[in-house]
């Protein structure tokens, strides 16, 4: 499945403000998406684990899988999807203006974003925290040793604000060196333009793996922040928010129930477990409140697998993974001590 990458600049978004102001419509987002024939899902510039491009121009990753899950729930076909690659500076404006139907791109759920941008954040698909990468030969073993340091950071993100807060709280007088593109940020760090680079620890781990000599770098032990990374939709369309919300929950619930991409047909046809039968549309009418077909959750799992399968493929130790262990982390199922939890699907 080859998906188009639409790189939207801040200037382009600004010129669309007038059109966006007229976006309000009597039609629901679901109606608009069905008439158009695809879901417009926003990710960021390529980032290992979350959203990346293969040699054929196909998008893949944890956040892309969320886009595909929502698309499969609606159309029964995950390929009816347009991926939009949008900068950090333009992402929320693009969603609020109607350029995108859904944002799924390492966006941290915060109070101000949830209440002041005209957006609704939905269940996190990854729990992260901010950290620092430094050179091992720098002698720095703690973030508290970064007094007066120059730190590379991506602009327009909670990462930049967290860095400023951390510096102020500890009187470190850190100098923020900001970049729109994380590749330029990392190149500057590797060429000696910064003493450290900061970002979500999962991203730091992935970036170090791509450095010319990964063993020369390390992540410092401190975690600066809580980073619940969650999809978001425009505020005011409760049905659309419900569709995205329960698509994420379906992935988590499927893992808890032992439903996989490989066995979902067998489970639907032969399981005696009423929870499995209701979820997969073999009985009951859970679909009615969403405005979808009875097999919406079946179509999700058939298309992308359950949350654990997706995690292992892109974030864990699968062929496309970035090697982040899930066991013992916040991203484990609640039954294994993590925060991944779905309300009952009944």
User: Which residues span the domain enclosing 173?
Assistant: 130-220
Domain closes at, from 220, 245, 262: 220
**For residue 267, pLDDT beyond 70:** yes
**Smallest Cα–Cα separation from 32: which of 114, 121, 105, 99?**
99
For 207-261, the pLDDT digits (tens) are 888 899 999 999 999 999 999 999 999 999 999 999 999 999 999 999 999 999 9
Q: Confidence class of residue 2 from pLDDT cuts 50, 70 and 90? A: very low
- The pLDDT of residue 25: 52
Domain closes at, from 220, 249, 272: 220
Q: Is residue 211 located within the same domain as residue 274?
A: no
- The pLDDT of residue 156: 82
- Give the count of beta carbons closer than 10 Å to the beta carbon of residue 214: 12
**For residue 297, pLDDT beyond 70:** yes
Q: Is residue 139 located within the same domain as residue 91?
A: no
Mean pLDDT, rounded, for 135-147: 96
- E strands along the chain, which residues? 39-43, 52-53, 59-60, 81-85, 102-103, 119-121, 126-128, 130-135, 150-154, 175-179, 196-200, 217-219, 227-229, 232-234
- The pLDDT of residue 203: 84
What total of structural domains would you count in the chain?
A: 2
For 44-93, the pLDDT digits (tens) are 998 889 999 999 999 999 999 999 999 999 999 999 999 999 988 899 99
Q: Is residue 31 located within the same domain as residue 108?
A: yes
Q: Is residue 234 located within the same domain as residue 300?
A: yes
Domain closes at, from 201, 220, 239: 220
Q: Is residue 188 located within the same domain as residue 315?
A: no
- The pLDDT of residue 9: 39
Is 202 contained in some domain? yes
- Minimum mean pLDDT among 18-32, 123-137, 292-306, 323-337: which range? 18-32
Is 38 contained in some domain? yes
Mean pLDDT of the chain: 91
Q: Is residue 139 located within the same domain as residue 196?
A: yes
248, 304 contact by CB (below 8 A): no
What predicted TM-score, i.e. pTM, was given to this entire model?
0.85
Q: Is residue 97 located within the same domain as residue 155?
A: no
For 5-44, the pLDDT digits (tens) are 444 433 333 334 434 434 445 799 999 999 999 999 999 9
- The pLDDT of residue 6: 43
Q: Is residue 106 located within the same domain as residue 134?
A: no
- Interior/surface letters 106-139, b for 16+ CB within 10 angstroms, e for the rest: bbbbbeebeeebebbbbbbbbbbbbbbbbbeeee
Q: Is residue 244 located within the same domain as residue 213?
A: no
């Amino acid at each position: 499945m080859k998906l188009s990458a639409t790189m939207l600049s801040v200037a382009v978004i600004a010129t669309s403000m007038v059109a966006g102001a007229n976006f309000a419509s009597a039609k629901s987002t679901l109606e608009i998406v069905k008439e158009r024939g695809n879901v417009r899902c926003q990710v960021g510039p390529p980032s290992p684990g979350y959203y990346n491009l293969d040699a054929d121009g196909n998008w893949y990753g944890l956040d892309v899988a969320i886009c595909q899950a929502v698309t499969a729930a609606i159309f029964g076909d995950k390929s009816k999807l347009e991926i939009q690659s949008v900068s950090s500076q333009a992402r929320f404006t693009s969603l609020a203006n109607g350029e995108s139907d859904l944002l799924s791109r390492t966006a941290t759920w915060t109070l101000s974003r949830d209440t002041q941008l005209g957006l609704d954040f939905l269940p996190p698909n990854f729990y992260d925290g901010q950290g620092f990468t430094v050179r091992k030969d720098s002698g720095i073993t703690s973030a508290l040793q970064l007094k007066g340091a120059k730190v590379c950071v991506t602009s327009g993100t909670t990462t930049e604000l967290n860095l400023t807060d951390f510096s102020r709280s500890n009187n470190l007088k850190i100098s923020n060196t900001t970049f729109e593109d994380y590749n330029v940020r990392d190149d500057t760090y590797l060429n000696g333009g910064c003493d450290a680079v900061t970002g979500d620890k999962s991203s730091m781990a992935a970036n170090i793996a791509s450095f010319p000599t990964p063993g020369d770098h390390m992540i410092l032990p401190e975690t600066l922040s809580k980073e619940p990374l969650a999809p978001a939709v425009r505020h005011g369309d409760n049905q659309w928010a419900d569709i995205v919300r329960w698509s994420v929950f379906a992935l988590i619930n499927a893992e808890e129930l032992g439903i996989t991409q490989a066995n979902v047909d067998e489970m639907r046809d032969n399981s005696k477990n009423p929870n499995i039968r209701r979820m997969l549309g073999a009985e009951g009418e859970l679909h009615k409140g969403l405005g979808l077909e009875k097999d919406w959750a079946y179509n999700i799992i058939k298309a992308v697998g359950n949350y654990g399968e997706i995690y292992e493929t892109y974030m864990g130790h699968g062929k496309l993974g970035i090697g982040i262990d899930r066991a013992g982390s916040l991203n484990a199922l609640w039954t294994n001590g993590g925060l991944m939890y779905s309300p009952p699907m009944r």
